[in-house]
Amino acid sequence: MDEKKVIAVIGATGAQGGGVCRAILKDAGGVYRVRALTRNAGSDKAKELKKLGADVVEADIDDVESLKKAFRGAHGAFCVTFFWDHFSPEKELAEAKNMAEAAKHAGVRHVIWSTFEDTRKWVPLDDRRMPTLMEKYKVPHFDAKAEANRLFSERGVPTTFLLTSFYWENLIHFGMGPKRGEDGNLYFTLPMGDRKLPGIASEDIGKCAYALFRNGGEYIGKTVGIAGSHMTGGQMAAALTKALGEEVRYNAVSPEVYRGFGFPGADDLGNMFQFKRDFESDFCGARSLAFSRTLNPSLQTFEAWLGENRDRIPVEKGTRRASG
């Protein structure tokens, strides 16, 4: 009989949940089994997880009954919402409520809720340093996640509140990598001035979460923050220069300029970076590198991550204009 405890993982085919699944599955001698939740068990990513040894179960976080079934008998659950799929903080709140309700109903012993700070505690809605968005938020994809914390606590769900950091994969998938300027040079743009941005390899979030499950008793009811490096835009540009073998210059625009870039969510991200810039010591302080490394001794630094991933960062070929 299989005595292993089940961890149900939301977003199993994605970045955070996928990392959690792989961290558990790699530890073949460990005490946990993975129940990978997906809306489509027939997808290539779901099949891949099954091949690695996960039980793949269909569930939709918009459907509380499907979550109740998917959490049945589970010891733990990794819970995450997908803001960038729909840009709706209200939807995130409703989905977190579904997760909390389902966890309570199933008697899950340890939930890890992937959350963020409520930026309105630092910048109230009437503070004009940054615009209020959607009438109720300063950083919608942060504030709603923080607001959802109480949905777990109020129901008495044993929860660890996990503060994650900027994924370096944003440089690959989210259009945040170095871009070639009209002068032919490469520029890495962030509205962070000379302040440090905590970042992490998304796969390391999963490894840290796995350690939190393993040490459940210690972390239930606590908020823990993780990051692999705290670096300024200038330091990141220097690391990119070394990794890519071509100079990358730091383009420190203002948050106002960033908000005006016009891509979907630019205003939310402009406010997010401004918050991280203006409250650097609180934001970095909540994400201790040393603590993250105790959870995950193989935690990658930005340089190490670049060493593995530099070829995946899309960089337009050089077309430096001849001058003179």
* Contacting residues toward ligand NAP, per CB under 6 A: 11, 13-17, 38-40, 43, 46, 60-62, 80-85, 141, 164, 166-167, 170
Closer to ligand NAP by Cβ: residue 146 or 252? 146
Q: Which residue is nearest to ligand NAP (CB)?
A: 14
Write down the least CB distance from residue 75 to ligand NAP, Å.
20
Write down the least CB distance from residue 320 to ligand NAP, Å.
31
Closer to ligand NAP by Cβ: residue 9 or 243? 9
DSSP 8-state secondary structure symbol assigned to residue 63: -
Write down the least CB distance from residue 209 to ligand NAP, Å.
11
Q: CA distances (Å), 71 to each of 102, 108, 187, 309, in order?
A: 7, 7, 46, 35
Write down the least CB distance from residue 274 to ligand NAP, Å.
16
Closer to ligand NAP by Cβ: residue 16 or 292? 16
Write down the least CB distance from residue 143 to ligand NAP, Å.
11
Handedness of CA 220, 203, 305, 236 (dihedral sign): negative
Closer to ligand NAP by Cβ: residue 148 or 252? 148
Bridge partners of 223? 161
- Smallest CA-to-CA distance from 198 within 132, 271, 303, 285 is with 285
Write down the least CB distance from residue 84 to ligand NAP, Å.
6
3-state class (DSSP) for residue 288 = coil
Closer to ligand NAP by Cβ: residue 84 or 291? 84
The string of DSSP letters for 6-56 reads EEEETTTTSHHHHHHHHHHHH-TTSSEEEEEEES-TTSHHHHHHHHTTPEE
Handedness of CA 189, 193, 194, 199 (dihedral sign): negative
Write down the least CB distance from residue 126 to ligand NAP, Å.
25
Closer to ligand NAP by Cβ: residue 182 or 263? 263
Q: CA distances (Å), 234 to each of 54, 80, 222, in order?
A: 41, 31, 33
- Smallest CA-to-CA distance from 134 within 194, 164, 91, 193 is with 91
DSSP 8-state secondary structure symbol assigned to residue 166: E
Q: CA distances (Å), 108 to each of 111, 151, 203, in order?
A: 7, 15, 24
Closer to ligand NAP by Cβ: residue 247 or 308? 308
